[in-house]
Structure 1
Amino acid sequence: MKQAKLLTQAEHKRVQAVIDAHRYSRRNHAIFAFSYFAGLRACEIAALKVGDVFDANGQVSDTIFLAAGQTKGNDANTILVSKKLARALAIYAAAYPKHVARVDAPLFFSAKRGGFSAQTIVNLFARFYALAGIKGASSHTGRRQFLTELADKGVNVRVIQALARHKNLNTTMRYIDLNENKLRNAIELVSG
């Protein structure tokens, strides 16, 4: 199975610039943040409700509970909210306070004020990557980047598996990018 492309820093900046130029930039930054800072899949992002993410006072929750029907594998899961994701969500809430006050509403809305489907989220990612001139990136790019960066920073693979919400460790391993530079850096760690 071909893996989604990982972005370079320059490509990531280009995508951010494209999002900034869009009418719903704060919404789109929050959608991308769920992928890049929490590793959510398009179907999970589309399934989120306002009340899943924000408490009764409109503050970002530090933990998001996904019901079985909101996940790919129909297993309830917990998502931990990082500081970067919380910042993106706070900016989103400030931009759309009336929307965020509706706890049962879909978290993300279209121009027609309806919720997003998983396919709409997939198309949104594809559109912004295309506008940024990036080939091979998909809605799974952020998820793969999230897991690979954790591995690159030395996070234990079992922790990564838990954050990815994978049942099988082999599935997690397929997400983590390996290249010659990483292998060369690894062998230099051996002292002797």
Structure 2
Amino acid sequence: MTVEKKAPVLSEQEFRQVVAVARTHEQGNRNVALLYFSAALGLRAKEMSLLKVQDVVAPNGTIKDEVLLSRSTTKGRKQRLVYLTNKELRKALTSYLRERTGNGMAALHPEAPLFKSRKGGPFTPNTMQMLFKRMYISAGLDQASSHSGRRTFATSLIEHGADIKAVSTLMGHASVAMTARYVEDNPVRLRRLCENIQLGT
């Protein structure tokens, strides 16, 4: 029987490593923002490629606190909210958007793609996946993929005490069973669970 190969979950050190390398790229601010959208929001490559400026920037030029992903952009056509409340994510997004315009974020065209490719247009889901693969390879994480951020997001939530129903909602899964597959076989998490067993002496 062939075991399905899953994208590896990133450790905190590995995430910082890929962010540090991404900053050195000519599109460094964009790439760092993408890494945070992947690992701090759990977004899929397709979802990131379809985001528009108006999804995250309010008419007055401020970054929204939450984003509604429409059914047309998500897998399984399941509408969900994602929350732009992580401080590091907001910092990365602000740096990227300010780089796009010298006139403040309100000057950005609402319908423009949030993440622009080198050619100036939107990414396709495939080219977004390829970009993530290049970023991870550049950081020496050859096995990681665009889905690693999503798995890291789910695992981190569970490790920090989030209940699996809440994680399922944030991931946009149709069932809790699907969410459980993201975390139940993570060797890092299983090792930590064993380390923290309290036994009487």
- Distance in 2 between the 1:186 and 1:165 partners? 30
Structure 2: gaps spanning 5 or more residues: none
Matched, 1:127 2:134: yes
How far did residue 10 of structure 1 move? Answer: 3.4
Structure 1: gaps spanning 5 or more residues: none
- Distance in 1 between the 2:17 and 2:40 partners? 18
How far did residue 182 of structure 1 move? Answer: 2.4
In structure 2, what residue type is equivalent to 1:65? L
Alignment partner, residue 28 of structure 1: 31
TM-score scaled by structure 1?
Answer: 0.92
Matched, 1:87 2:91: yes
1:35-90 deviations in whole A, cap 9, x for unaligned? 01100000000010110010012211001011111111112221111233222211
Name the Cα RMSD after superposition: 1.9
How far did residue 14 of structure 1 move? Answer: 2.4
Q: What is the aligned counterpart of 2:143 among 136, 139, 156?
A: 136
Alignment partner, residue 3 of structure 1: 6
Matched, 1:183 2:193: yes
1:155-180 deviations in whole A, cap 9, x for unaligned? 11111111111011111011112444
Alignment partner, residue 156 of structure 2: 149
Partner SS state of residue 140, structure 1: helix
Partner SS state of residue 133, structure 1: coil
Alignment: residue pair count: 191
Matched, 1:44 2:44: no
TM-score scaled by structure 2?
Answer: 0.88
Alignment partner, residue 61 of structure 1: 64
Alignment partner, residue 13 of structure 1: 16
In structure 1, what residue type is equivalent to 2:99? A
Alignment partner, residue 125 of structure 2: 118
In structure 2, what residue type is equivalent to 1:168? S
Q: Is the 8 A contact 1:65 1:79 kept in 2?
A: yes
Q: Is the 8 A contact 1:3 1:175 kept in 2?
A: no
- Distance in 2 between the 1:43 and 1:191 partners? 50
How far did residue 186 of structure 1 move? Answer: 4.6
How far did residue 191 of structure 1 move? Answer: 7.0
